[in-house]
Amino acid sequence: MSPEKMVHMANQIVAFFNSQPGTDAAERVAEHLSDFWEPRMRAQLLAYIDEGGAGLDPVAIAAARRLKPVTA
């Protein structure tokens, strides 16, 4: 997937969880990414963050750092 689309999707997920009651949006975003993003998508997100993560919401970056390492 294009980096632009990936950033847009990740930021939409963050916006949703930021609008919900609760305090730990990063944890809930991480759970969503683990449950619904395939391993290749998670690996791409982590690689994008390693390259600087331009345009990603800080909560998306914090969530991605909570993901288990991708081995696929």
pTM: 0.90
Domain parsing of the chain, residue ranges: 3-65
Q: What is the pLDDT of residue 8?
A: 98
Looking at residue 23, what is its pLDDT? 80
Round to whole Å and give the CA distance between 67 and 5.
20
The predicted structure's pLDDT at residue 69: 76
Residue ranges in the chain whose pLDDT is less than 50: none
Q: Is the separation of the CB atoms in 70 and 46 below 8 Å?
A: yes
Residue 70: exposure state from Cβ atoms within 10 A (0-12, 13-18, ≥19): middle
Calculate the average pLDDT of the chain.
Answer: 94
- Residue-level pLDDT at 68: 80
